[in-house]
Amino acid sequence: MRVQLTKRLLDRQIIDADGRLVGRVDDIEFAIDDEGYPYVDCLLTGQRVLGERVGGWIGRALVAIADRFVDDPPVPPVRISVSLIDRMDSAVRLRVRAADLPASPLEVWLRRHLIDRIPGAHRASG
């Protein structure tokens, strides 16, 4: 049976256990099992991996922007293990909260250099 993963997974929204948007599936990472068979290991999300997939001048611009806003380029993608997937329908739905996932390097940089400098940024919203 042939499965077309690009049609099934790429660009699908990734939703956490609380219904919050985590990102979109920008690429798929494979691994090889002990018998030599490939399997989907992780879903990748992030501006750099999207730029690499898109290619051309738009892709290069996405990669350049992603690398500009991190302290230690190149910016790695966020890897979401397939073991964290609860189900797939119109979106990829995770069984964990977004806070339990690795933070996006771009998001970390923006928080440290921009959001944290806004007066009142650390107060809880109510």
The answer to whether the CB of 41 falls within 8 A of the CB of 77 is no
Residue 105 predicted with pLDDT over 60: yes
Q: How far apart, in whole angstroms, are the C-alpha atoms of residue 76 and residue 106?
A: 9
pLDDT recorded at residue 87: 95
Bridge-based pairing of strands 92-94 and 13-15 is parallel
Q: Cα–Cα distance between 26 and 84 in angstroms, integer?
A: 17
Residue-wise pLDDT for 14-30, tens only, equals 999 999 999 999 999 99
Cα-based angle 78, 103, 68 (whole degrees, multiple of 5): 75
Q: What is the CATH number of domain 5-117?
A: 2.30.30.240
Cβ(4)–Cβ(28) under 8 Å? Answer: no
Give domain limits for the chain: 5-117
Look at residue 73 in the predicted model and tell me its pLDDT.
Answer: 83
Nearest to 91 by CA among 5, 13, 11: 13
